[in-house]
Amino acid sequence: MQPRLQLTIDNHIATVTLTHAEKHNALDMPMFYAIDQVIKTIRQNNTIQAVILTADGEDFCTGLDVKAIMKSPKNSVKLLFKWWPTQANLAQRVSTAWRSLPVPVIAAIHGRCWGGGLQIALGADIRFACKDSNWSIMENRWGLIPDMGGTLAFKELMHIDIATELAMSARQINGEQAKTYGLVTHLAENPLSAAQQLAEELIQNSPDANAAIKKLIQKSWWSTSAMTLLRESYYQLKILLGKNQRIAVHRRLNKGANLEEQKKDFLPRKFK
């Protein structure tokens, strides 16, 4: 594992912590590679049922470490290169790949969440943040556009005029404003604690159902009614054929039974 982050797994919950606090978790090449690799690691582990994304230090992530990236012209090529135009490149994967993980991803945001850091946070399914957290679509400060996949979330979460204004102005807003604009799901005094509590709640349900719900909603949000109905039926059939659905029923019917019966463990996730 690269030194820019730490991955811990406890009770089927993976916690990914950005650990480059001395640089406010700014994105240099080792950070890009570390995030890309940890997502692959989580994807390959079908016993993980939820992910929490958080950070050490004063800030969640202050965006691109411009000096570190610009040290070598090759860095820009490595970040932007893609084999096929519609695929995500390395810069985009650190945001968009969280969306494709078949588990709920919950971000806990404190301090500054700027530029690339904001786009990484938007890769999560749910975001908790402090009221005094600081948010900015910062790229235009450097004469750039947001190009790390965050635009996918902008169109889902924000009104087009607000997204346009914030991206063009690179203005900083606090957590309360970010929630009003749709960037934050919930405000919390302790975002990490709130994220952990929600993760514990979500893993009480079938990991296959959670995976199917995430995929159904993401693929159907801008889809036709016909395709949405098709996916509902197809995914439900896959769920009904799996053992975790029967375990979910067993757990609900045995709530009053002894602890061993009530807490029958779910099997590793099969739904993809």
Task: Judge whether 42 and 101 are in contact, CB under 8 Å.
Answer: yes
Decide which of 39 and 76 is more confident: 39
pLDDT tens for each residue of 42-99: 999 999 999 999 999 999 999 999 888 878 888 888 888 888 888 899 999 999 999 9
Q: Where are the alpha helices (DSSP H) in 22-136?
A: 29-44, 66-69, 73-80, 90-100, 116-121
pLDDT, average across residues 205-231: 96
pTM: 0.94
Which residues face 108 on adjacent strands? 128
Q: At residue 266, what is the residue type?
A: F
Task: Judge whether 199 and 106 are in contact, CB under 8 Å.
Answer: yes
DSSP state, 268? P
Backbone angles phi, psi at 187, to 5 degrees: -90, 145
Binning the chain into helix, strand and coil, the percentages to the nearest 5 are 50, 15, 35
pLDDT at 119 over 60: yes
pLDDT at 260 over 60: no
pLDDT, average across residues 130-144: 95
pLDDT band at 257 (very low <50, low <70, confident <90, very high): low
pLDDT at 249 over 50: yes
Q: Can you give the pLDDT at residue 248? A: 93
User: Is the CATH code 3.20.20.70 the one for domain 5-202?
Assistant: no
Task: Judge whether 129 and 221 are in contact, CB under 8 Å.
Answer: no
